[in-house]
Amino acid sequence: MVATPPNPNAWRTETPGTIDWPHTARAEDPNKYFMVSADTHAQEPADLWATRIDKQYRHRIPRQEVDEDGVKWSVTEGHRPTKIRDLKLEGEDQVRADAGFTVEERMRHQDEDGVDVELIFPNKGLSIWATPDPVFSQAMCRVWNDYAHETFGSHPERMVPVGAIAPGDLDGAIAEVRRVAELGFRCLSLPNRPVWGPGDGSELNYNQSFFDPLWETIEEVNLPITLHISTGKDPRGARGRGGAVINYAVHSLSQSLEPVANFCSSGVLERFPTLRIATIEAGIGWIPWALTAMDEAYHKHHMWAFPKMEALPSEYFRRNFFASFGEDPPGLALGRQFDLMHTFMWANDYPHQEGTWPHSAAAIERTMGDLTDEDRAAVLGLNGARFLGLDV
Amino acid sequence: MPEAQASKLVRSDSVGVDSITVHWPDSLNDFGRPMLWMASWLIGGAGEEGDWFFSGRIADANSGSDEGVGPHTVPAEATGIRVRRWPDEEFSPEYADVIPLRSDTIDIETLAFDRRQIHSRLRLEPRAADESPA
């Protein structure tokens, strides 16, 4: 049995040190790497959507319901109802849950963690795509975008909030892309599937030319696209024993393979060669396998594989894609071998429990000791800067 | 009702009361801070909502500067009110509906937030309630 230790977070501070590192990730180091956290999360006010959504949609935003037995459930249009559990956090776990509610606190925390620039995603608002109605989803996206602009827009040197887009509402999506670009947003976020649902082949997906006008617009405004985990379909696909592990590994992280395959195998990136796309929080260890699998299918299923493309699916990934990760030793070990180091972007996932804040330097030292200084500089910040178009 | 906050609601013929006084309790959330509340008008017959007329923490309302303090005109189409609260400060609030508005005084502390509501959107699969949540 793997027992829970008295301090379940003690491992977070363990580090082998930085012997022979010309630069480090330590905030106090004058030779600190330039660091971009390619995945952090806002702490939106709880009543943000209830107060700002178009009133025609207010009764549809998530809420708690009580059944006949007095059991409380969280009800979201695209999710299976989830029982509300009285979960009490303690110690450092509670510190993470309480962090980041003000811009000033965020900046102080990121300073202490060595982060120079953060790419900010919704937190509560990751549910804005959790509906099969893309027009409703777009309305929720607009609420986030307004809030994010108001809250983070005055610190462009440190904070890059994503502009949320619901692509299933194509005309609305194009209009919102143009609106957030005019507001000064420097990055977009789309769900892993364009319309929420389990996916049965009859639904819209990113491989279809239906979305060409959207890609054309995004190329025109020159904004990179992110695809965050747990968007596109219900990440709570399992219940009961092992559910937390099953849902995280299978129904949350591995969702990201679907949009990667859709973009890389369909010719979209041939027609729109300047798109920059990043999987977010899905890790990187799976990418060498996924690229190998896609190329294998393209070769071995040549009789079924269409369109015939100028390059292999893996080559489109290497040219157009990026991928964020936190602690992923398998991915880092394979990065050089599979020519992927230029695509990897580190993130501390502030302030989430899955992240490394406030001990990012120790996590980097545990996992990046075998990398060259050049590769560490790339994955810790320079790749993120290139993805976001930052001047470094 | 000590420390309560009152919002005066003006008559609406469709609701059938001259005015409504809403007494807001000074409850605390799960973190010991003033509870976040919100109240909106219910319209139509399926739980649809119109405008909202109060959102804030009771300390805010007691300051006298929040728009929730003043009298409000009840929309002609109003069928009741929906009161939300966020004990855990997460996305999904608890809520209670008051349908119809029969009284000119609503004491929020007496609302049944812990019961199934008329316009509940809970649709459970047959076996879901018997299984541990993931």
Residue to test with chain B: of A41, A44, A47, most B Cβ within 10 A: A47
Q: Is there a contact between A85 and B133 if contact means CB atoms under 8 Å apart?
A: yes
Residue A25 near residue A35 (C-beta atoms within 8 A): yes
Instruction: Give the tens place of pLDDT for each residue, A349-359.
Output: 999 999 999 99
pLDDT class of B25 with cuts at 50, 70, 90:
confident
Maximum C-alpha span of chain A: 64
Lowest mean pLDDT among A98-102, A112-116, A274-278, B76-80: B76-80
pLDDT class of A5 with cuts at 50, 70, 90:
confident
Nearest CA in chain B to A77: B121
pLDDT at A324 over 80: yes
Residue B123 domain flag: no
d(CA A259, CA A195): 12
**pLDDT for B45:** 86
d(CA A281, CA A166): 19
Return mean pLDDT, chain A: 95
pLDDT at A321 over 70: yes
Range of the domain at B62: 5-116
Lowest mean pLDDT among A2-6, A98-102, A365-369, A370-374: A2-6
Sign of the dihedral through C-alpha A281, A285, A288, A290: negative
pTM exceeding 0.90:
yes
pLDDT class of B11 with cuts at 50, 70, 90:
very low
**pLDDT for B85:** 97
Taken in order of first residue, the domains within chain A and their CATH numbers are 20-59+95-388 (3.20.20.140)
Task: Give the closest-approach CA distance of A328 to chain B in angstroms.
Answer: 25
Query: Is B123 in the A-facing interface, judged by CB distances under 8 Å?
Result: yes
pLDDT class of B4 with cuts at 50, 70, 90:
very low
**pLDDT for A329:** 96
**pLDDT for B18:** 62
Instruction: Give the tens place of pLDDT for each residue, A36-58.
Output: 999 999 999 999 999 999 999 99
Restricting to B residues 1-30, those with a Cβ less than 8 Å away from any Cβ of A are none
Nearest CA in chain B to A48: B91
Give A-chain residues touching B79 at CB under 8 angstroms: none
**pLDDT for B70:** 47
Matching residue, tokens 């919002």: B7
Q: Which has more confidence, A300 or A80? A: A300
Query: Is B133 in the A-facing interface, judged by CB distances under 8 Å?
Result: yes
**Among candidates B55, B123, B134 on the partner chain, residue whose Cβ is nearest the Cβ of A243:** B134
Residue to test with chain A: of B38, B99, B122, B132, most A Cβ within 10 A: B122
Residue B51 domain flag: yes
Residue-wise over A280-314: b if at least 16 C-beta within 10 A, else e? bbbbbbbbbebbeebbeebeeeeeeeeeebeebbb
Q: What percent of chain B has pLDDT over 90?
A: 37
Mean pLDDT (whole number) for A6-12: 90
**Among candidates A62, A68, A70 on the partner chain, residue whose Cβ is nearest the Cβ of B92:** A62
Instruction: Give the tens place of pLDDT for each residue, B33-73.
Output: 899 999 999 998 889 999 998 898 876 555 444 444 446 67
**pLDDT for B125:** 61
Please name the amino acid found at residue B41: W
Q: Which has more confidence, B76 or A15? A: A15
Residue B74 domain flag: yes
**Among candidates A46, A58, A238 on the partner chain, residue whose Cβ is nearest the Cβ of B91:** A46
d(CA A333, CA A257): 20
pLDDT at B5 over 60: no
pLDDT at A64 over 90: yes
pLDDT at A161 over 80: yes
Lowest mean pLDDT among A51-60, A301-310, B23-32: B23-32
pLDDT at B7 over 80: no
Instruction: Give the tens place of pLDDT for each residue, A81-91.
Output: 988 887 788 89
Residue A100 near residue A161 (C-beta atoms within 8 A): no
Residue B68 near residue B61 (C-beta atoms within 8 A): yes
Of A157, A168, A88, the residue nearest A128 (C-alpha):
A168
Give B-chain residues touching A76 at CB under 8 angstroms: 92
Residue B133 domain flag: no
Number of domains present in the structure of chain B: 1
Sign of the dihedral through C-alpha A179, A183, A186, A191: negative
